[in-house]
Amino acid sequence: MTATMPARSAAEDVARRLLDDGYVVVTGMLDAGRVKAARDDLDRVLAMTPTGRNLFEGYSTQRVYALFAKTRTFDEAAIDPLVLGVLDQVLGHYQLSAPVGIRIGPGEKAQILHRDDAIYPVPEPHPPLVVNTMWPLDEFTLQNGATRFIPGSHDWPPGRTPTGADEIATAVLSPGDVMIYLGSLWHGGGANSTDKPRLGVILEYAAGWLRQQENHCLAVPREVVKELPERLQELLGYNIYPPFVGYVDGVHPRKVLG
């Protein structure tokens, strides 16, 4: 059982729990209507989405990349005030890095445990660089591929790696919850031994001075971006890291949106 906090919690309290434990689960973030709308729309997208190309993606798992080009159902979640309040405290200046819908299919094996921030060649220990959010759209259970993670592993000394199954916890979550976890927390998708897929969406954020994992300025058509809330435009990359990292022809990138 994973300890939880309610959606009415103060961002400072959620951020403290995140920094202390490496993860925090907040309940009641999406109501049933929003969960259903997101599921239905992602089902439409998933009907056109191939399965993974390697063990990390999972050969029985589908991944919806370029998420904000394909569905409008996570626009609000991406700029949820509580989530952004937590990110303000933990990352300071940040952007969306990897927003991905992940449907783990029946028979999928457990994904290798990893740290999301390990893709950046920054020597350890370092301040938080990456914060991920997992939004389950199905019940996440031990059997159907709930995210696995190692509590406290965000604080491990440099070079320590996972050693055994006994240290791994399972994120048993319900649709409407969000699990927020540091990029330094060891985690991975679970094995799905049921006959039904498990759907969740990760919205991963990274410090504003890093390169985003997905190049949203190319992945999301500009005509689509123009219609989005300004904060979401900024998070997709139409922003600068002060004083001017990310400029376009000498000006702020929001100017290209007109």
Q: For residue 22, state whether it binds ligand AKG (rule: CB under 6 A).
A: no
122-127's contacts with Cβ under 8 Å and 24+ in sequence apart are 123/158, 124/158, 124/159, 125/158
Rank residues 70 and 198 by Cβ distance to ligand AKG and give the closer one. Answer: 198
Q: Binding to ligand AKG (CB under 6 A): which residues in 175-234?
A: 187-189, 200
Rank residues 144 and 239 by Cβ distance to ligand AKG and give the closer one. Answer: 144
Q: Binding to ligand AKG (CB under 6 A): which residues in 104-133?
A: 111
| Number of residues lying near ligand AKG (CB under 6 A) | 7
Q: How far is the CB of 113 from ligand AKG (least distance, A)?
A: 9
Binding flags for ligand AKG, 52-91, as an x/- string (CB under 6 A): ----------------------------------------
Rank residues 188 and 253 by Cβ distance to ligand AKG and give the closer one. Answer: 188
From CA 183, how far away is CA 119, in angstroms rounded? 10
Q: How far is the CB of 94 from ligand AKG (least distance, A)?
A: 18
- Residue among 25, 35, 96, 102 that touches ligand AKG (CB under 6 A): 102
From CA 194, how far away is CA 107, in angstroms rounded? 7
Rank residues 207 and 228 by Cβ distance to ligand AKG and give the closer one. Answer: 207
Rank residues 183 and 237 by Cβ distance to ligand AKG and give the closer one. Answer: 183
50 bridge partner residues: none
Angle at 235 between CA 218 and CA 220, to 5 degrees: 25
Neighbours of 33 (CB within 10 A): 8
- Residue among 147, 153, 213, 233 that touches ligand AKG (CB under 6 A): 147
Q: How far is the CB of 141 from ligand AKG (least distance, A)?
A: 12
Reading the block at residue 48, the tokens are 């056109």
Rank residues 196 and 222 by Cβ distance to ligand AKG and give the closer one. Answer: 196
Residues forming contacts to ligand AKG in the complex (CB under 6 A) are 102, 111, 147, 187-189, 200
